[in-house]
Amino acid sequence: MHDKTNFSFILASKSPRRRELLEKAGYHFKPVSPNVDETAFDTSIGPAEFAKLLALAKAKSVAQNYKEKIVVGADTIVDFDGRIIGKAAGERDAEKIVRLLFSRPHKVITGLAIVRLKDNLEIVESDTTIVYPKPMTDEQIAEHIESGTWRDKAGAYAIQETGDQFVEKIAGSLTNVMGMPMELFEKLLTKVKK
């Protein structure tokens, strides 16, 4: 296990949820927004591969300016029967996504990449959690869309904000559904040489 007090890295993400999870766990890091056009990537490669590809692209885009440092990239998507569901484009899109996802179980996949350019370090893996939703009424869906909490979130919902209300149970990592699979992250860190 890494000594968190003298281990620091760059987080290639602007996600407040990822920052919060890492801060709570006691990590020292600097968040830097990656410059990656997510629409430029081919979704036909499959959901887990797509999440890993995006996580790596984000980490590498930030690593260009921090060649000596460890850079961590992450990307969370929702896999609904093999179809990749990302962030909603607007309210109508969010409603369509929510109606689809809360009709039956779906997978939340987070790709995680750790890179350090100076010694060509590159570790990329993904974690998958199955979410079993509760059926939502039209009224609940309308309230959820009106609340705006779906904005900038894969699958147009955030389990930490709506969890008990909309989710029956999950199989897998809760932090993965929140966008930063902490168990996988800590496992990958053991492969990183100082």
> What are the pLDDT digits (tens) for 124-138?
999 999 999 888 888
79 carries an active-site annotation: no
Q: Are 181 and 173 in contact (CB under 8 A)?
A: yes
Residue in 37, 75, 81, 119 annotated catalytic: 75
Average pLDDT over residues 12-32: 94
Q: Is 135 helix (H, G, I), strand (E, B) or coil?
A: coil
Which pLDDT tens digit goes with each residue over 81-122?
Answer: 998 987 888 889 888 988 888 888 999 999 999 999 999 999
- When the candidates are 3.90.950.10, 3.40.50.2300, 3.30.300.30, 3.40.50.300, the CATH number that belongs to 4-189 is 3.90.950.10
